[in-house]
Structure 1
Amino acid sequence: MRSTRRTLLAACVAVGTLASLTACGGGGSGSSGSSGKSATYTFWDPYPQFDASSDWGKRVAQCGTEAGVKLKRTGYDTTDLGNKALLAAQQGNAPDVMLVDNPVVSTLVEAGILTKTSELGLDTSSIQKNIIGAGTLDGTSYGVPIGANTLALYYNKEVLSAAGVDPASIKDWASLTGALKKVKAAGKKGITFSAIGTEEGSFQFLPWFWGAGADLTELNSAKGVAALSLWKQWVDEGYAPKDVLQNTQTTSWQEFATGDYAFGENGTWQLGNAEKAGFEYGIINIPARNGGSAPVPTGGEFVTVPVQQDTSRYEVSKKIVTCLTSDKNLLPTDTTLMYVAPTTAVQKEQVKANPKLKPWVEAVASARGRTSGGLGTKYPTISQQMWTAVQAALSGGKSPQAALDEAQTAAGKG
């Protein structure tokens, strides 16, 4: 227990958003509840926007019913959920099942509070390797993805047509920049994205960074500098607005939805809003520097089972996880959450039901987990330095090379 307690304290420091370190101290060992035959199980997720009457709320409740228990669900904001999970584990009252953002999985594993899927007897063989990879450490998976989302480029058909741009001609950075130049010359606006100084900014920069062939272990490589220089060129030449420095993915979408922009970098979750935008739109994959589709970051959550002292509870928890992630339930669940399913079989059903999902399925197929490749809990430090460099370069405070040199030095010390 002493070792676990020290690890939990370190994890709390890594998360860095708890009110104080004392919140991670104290607490004691103890059961997360009564015996495995208890009629009530607890479930936490990052969807406070969905109440019990929502499709998601009803689905969770139904899975409890099918498992023979009452499932008490609580929704928290994503960051708050990670913090509360660490604190609950320290106090010995972790929830039975928890849905967490995929980059958080590695932090919780390092803290020793998640159960291996193999120990629970959960089958993850049908899940795409790159999607399960976001919740896998040292070859072991610690959760089952409920779905995935990622990024692509939405485009305004009318704006491109007026500028004489065929979206099919955009195959690399040069052709995209050429299209932006034509759009500006035609009196419209080029591209909007989020470069805000948070994880959202890193999330949106990663396709360009990876699309240049850069690696997160070397932020200041020539390839990484090329990616940041591209964004800086767009801002300096007026192809992208200066407010990308403050744009969240939501405000960036709102800009695109005005109908003035040719392109908007955004995610699967905006499909519903795209249908309401009032103009015809299309979607293309984000191009890599020299052609082809750029790797994009995997978004989405994993259903996990926190470690319990009363191991008899795992049998019911497994039933709940299986219910939420089975093929028969993934289609309606992922449609509700606007996620691409993590299995090929369900993806085919999704595209059949909604052909507009086809480019998103293709994008998810080439997506990467942000913590994959052995980065694990190193990723948050690297990401913070990345978004800091983006902010410094786009604001004119530093050159892309200087900003990324400083970021690499700081990430190495983190």
Structure 2
Amino acid sequence: MSSASRSVRAIAVCGAAVLAMAGCSSDTGAGGAQSSDTYTWWDPYPQHKKSSEWAERVAKCGDKAGVTIKRTAYDTTALTNQALLAAQEGTSPDLMLLDNPAVSTLADTGMLTTMKEFGLGTSGIDKNLLAAGVVDGKKYGIPVGANTLALYYNKDVLDAAGVDPASVKDWDSLTAALKKVTGAGKKGITFAGIGTEEGSFQFLPWFWGAGADLHDLDSPEAADALKLWTDWRKRGYAPESVINNSQNTTWEEFLTGKFAFAVNGTWQVDSAAKAKFDTGVLQIPGKDGGVAPTPTGGEFITAPVQKDTGRYDVTKKIVKCMTTPEGMVETAKTFAYYIPPTKATQDQLLKEKPRLKPWVKAVRTAKGRTSDNLGTDYPKISEPLWTAVQKALSKSKSPEGALKEAQSTAKDKVG
């Protein structure tokens, strides 16, 4: 275990902005002195109130460890900012669930323990999911579950256009399907090209599916991916709205029943089942076939550094409770859209929820956004990337020109 005096490196945070953040649930207050029988827990689920199954699940793990868990929930951005502030003030919670790209950011400050320091093994976790929490070979948390992207399709629209979903195996066959659908008077595909992290998140399967690398944003492969999106827009296979679409608005478009395909995530499983038309799920294809890597979403359970290292024994019990095979499956069922992070637990979940099979397959081939040892460099690359997507979709720059500018910007930021 690292020393209690382990320093937290300088953190560039706008204090006023952090203090002004909203979105905290009413379950508990944040910060404050920690007592020996109360352990603090922060997570990014303000939608899950004190009476929710999730809150009860967290509380039960405290009961098993012989303590009370004081849970505070923030939205994702507020949680990261609050964590950085708490690190500066020495008021970090005992446990935090972090959106996976935030793990490297907080690990870089020195505020998180490694799992090796904490005495917890990670050998059974799928490597592609664990990678988002690895910085310089050190593991800073355990994924409690993952979600990712795939192609939802409207079976009624495809049937009317004479398109067999099984025929979609690469970019050419997908584009051919879009041509048939729009020729039959329906709409092709909708996706989120918004100028935020959601835009990068949705573009990455096509970027990676072309063989592109985030270290080289202006490669020919990257240009192929962006040309695919801009060509779809030019031909009318994708609507003008994609440039402003969030993942939520994309889904709202799909639920109108007019679109053949929508790029969206595991979290829409229940909504798709309730749609007024038959839906299905396809893996996003790579340019020349196969399954494109899709970015992983989901949270890691982490243990911040504490001045009182005597607290770690109980914290470890709580972490173990949350990450047993049974615990991982229970988390997946509690949220309905999480896929557990080990093959054994994925197989167990499929016995109870076989309709999640396409999503288990998608998660098994997914990739962390901070993988390839990008760590804290990822946000410096992601913003220029989504900016390039915006410029290309708006026709203010060619795909090649937009990506060349993005690479220059990213290089300046990363150094």
Q: Do both share a fold (TM > 0.5)?
A: yes
Q: Is the 8 A contact 2:18 2:78 kept in 1?
A: no
Structure 1 residues 78 and 18, CA gap change in structure 2 (3 angstroms): farther
2:264 alignment partner, SS class:
strand
Tell me the secondary structure at the aligned position of residue 10 of structure 2: helix
Cα distance change of structure 1 residues 117 and 3 upon mapping to structure 2, 3 Å threshold? closer
Q: Does 2:134 align with 1:136?
A: yes
SS of 1:254's equivalent in the other structure is helix
Which residue does the alignment assign to 1:342?
341
Query: 1:4 Cα deviation (Å)?
Result: 4.0
Tell me by how many angstroms 1:164 deviates. 0.5
Amino acid at match of 1:144: I
Indicate the residue corresponding to 1:366 in structure 2. Answer: 365
Q: How does 1:7-406 map to 2 (within 5 A)?
A: 7-10=9-12, 12=13, 19=16, 33-34=33-34, 38-337=36-335, 338-406=337-405
Deviation at 1:21, TM superposition (A): 9.2
Following TM superposition, by how much is the alpha carbon of 1:244 offset from its aligned partner in structure 2, in angstroms? 0.8
Residue of structure 2 equivalent to 1:26: none
Distance 1:261 1:345, change over 3 A: same
Q: Render the CA deviation track for 1:257-295: whole Å, top value 9, x for unaligned.
A: 111100010000000110111111110100000000001
Gaps of 5+ in 2: 21-30
**Equivalent residue, structure 2, for 1:28:** none
- Amino acid aligned to 2:267: W
**In 2: Cα distance, 1:18 partner to 1:245 partner:** 32
Q: Distance in 1 between matches of 2:19 and 2:343?
A: 45
Give the alignment's TM-score, normalised by structure 2: 0.93
In 2, Cα distance between the equivalents of 1:2 and 1:51? 35
Inter-CA distance 21–258: structure 2 relative to 1 (3 Å threshold): closer
Determine if contact 1:147/1:342 at 8 Å carries over to the other structure. Answer: yes
Secondary structure in 2 matching 1:9: coil
- Output the CA distance in 1 between the equivalents of 2:334 and 2:161: 36
Name the SS of the counterpart of 1:8 in structure 2: coil
Structure 2 distance, partners of 1:366, 1:8, is: 36
TM-score (norm 1): 0.94
CA distance in 2, matches of 1:190, 1:22: 44
Aligned mates of 2:108, 2:330 — CA distance in 1: 33
Taking the aligned partners of 2:75 and 2:18, their CA distance within structure 1 comes to: 20
**Once the 2 structures are TM-superposed, how far is the Cα of residue 207 of structure 1 from its aligned partner?**
0.1
- Determine helix, strand or coil for the equivalent of 1:191: strand
What per-residue deviation string (whole Å, max 9, x for no partner) do you get for residues 178-229 of structure 1? Answer: 0000000000000011000000000000000000000000000000000000
Deviations 1:283-314 (A, max 9, x none): 01000000000011111100000000100011
Instruction: Give the aligned CA root-mean-square deviation in angstroms.
Output: 1.8
**Cα separation, partners in 2 of 1:350 and 1:22, compared to 1, 3 Å:** closer
**Which consecutive residues of structure 1, in runs of 5 or more, have no partner in the other structure?**
24-30
Q: Classify 1:312/1:211 alpha carbon distance in 2 versus 1 (closer, same or farther; 3 Å).
A: same
Q: 1:248 to 1:67 in 2, by over 3 A?
A: same
* Structure 1 residues 358-398: Cα deviation after superposition (integer angstroms, max 9, x where no partner): 11111111111111111110000100000000000001110
Change (3 A) 1:8 1:200: same
AA partner of residue 319 (structure 2):
V
CA contact (8 A) 2:99 2:299 kept: yes
2-structure distance, mates of 1:21, 1:330: 32
CA distance in 2, matches of 1:34, 1:391: 46
- Structure 1 residues 328-337 or 390-399, which shifts more? 328-337
Tell me if structure 1 keeps the 8 A contact 2:15–2:85: no
Q: Is contact 1:32–1:308 with CA below 8 Å preserved after alignment?
A: no
Contact 1:235 1:242 in 2 (8 A): yes
